[in-house]
Amino acid sequence: MRRTIQLMVFALLSILLGASPGLAQEAEHEEHGEADKDATYFLLRLGVGLGFPIGKSYGIEPQINLDLVEGEKVWVCGVNFIYAW
Domain boundaries, the chain: 3-83
The pLDDT tens digits for 28-84 are 555 565 655 667 888 899 999 988 888 888 888 899 999 998 888 999 999 988 888
Whether pLDDT at 3 is above 80:
no
d(CA 40, CA 46): 19
| pTM given for the model | 0.62
Give the list of residues 6+ apart from residue 16 with CB closer than 8 angstroms, or none: 8, 47, 48, 49, 50, 51, 61, 63
Half-sphere exposure of 64 (CA within 13 A, CB side): 1
Sorting pLDDT into bands at 50, 70 and 90, what band is 10?
A: very low
